[in-house]
Amino acid sequence: MSNLTRYDPFSIEPVSDLFQGLFRPMRGMLAADENELSAMKLDVTENDKAYTVKAEMPGVDKKDIDVKIDGNVVSIQAKVERKTEQKEGERVIRRERYSGSFARSFSLASDIDESGANAQYQDGVLSLTLPKKAPAEQKRLQIQ
């Protein structure tokens, strides 16, 4: 049996080192921006009556968070702005602070009772308490 391998023209030793070193800073910047903005870590737990969601959102102002509930789908959006003051005579060499927005949507097994839902934001953690809707009673039809 033969093994298939993908040909990589940059895998030749001297060329490989040159190109990996050349593009490494750009890969690092893209990964850092992606991790900072889009990585909202969630913990979701449930009991018989409700779901509890905890979302890590450090550095976000409470007024910039938007939570929407549609049936069993929960959407969390946030906008982050980092404004910097640049003094006269200074120039920016590298900026690692960011601005942008991120969002996360997920579905739960049961529909949510929007009227009883509660959201709190403290110390960079958004806490949602999402009560489950009571299951609808089955209606038995009378056959005529």
User: Any bridge partners for residue 50, and if so which?
Assistant: 131
Same domain (yes/no): 19, 79 = no
Q: Where residue 73 sits, what CATH number does that domain have? A: 2.60.40.790
Q: How many CB atoms lie within 10 A of CB 107?
A: 9
What pLDDT digit, counting tens, does each position of 30-85 carry? 444 444 445 689 999 999 999 999 999 888 889 999 999 999 999 999 988 766 65
pLDDT of residue 25 exceeding 60, the answer is no
Does 23 share its domain with 55? no
4 vs 111, which has greater pLDDT?
A: 111
Task: Look up the domain containing 112 and give its range.
Answer: 41-85+97-133
φ/ψ of residue 41, rounded to 5: -85, 130
Same domain, 76 and 103: yes
- Return the amino acid letter for 133: K
Domain-embedded: residue 144: no
CA–CA separation, 67 and 126 (whole Å):
10
List the structure tokens of 7.
């040909």
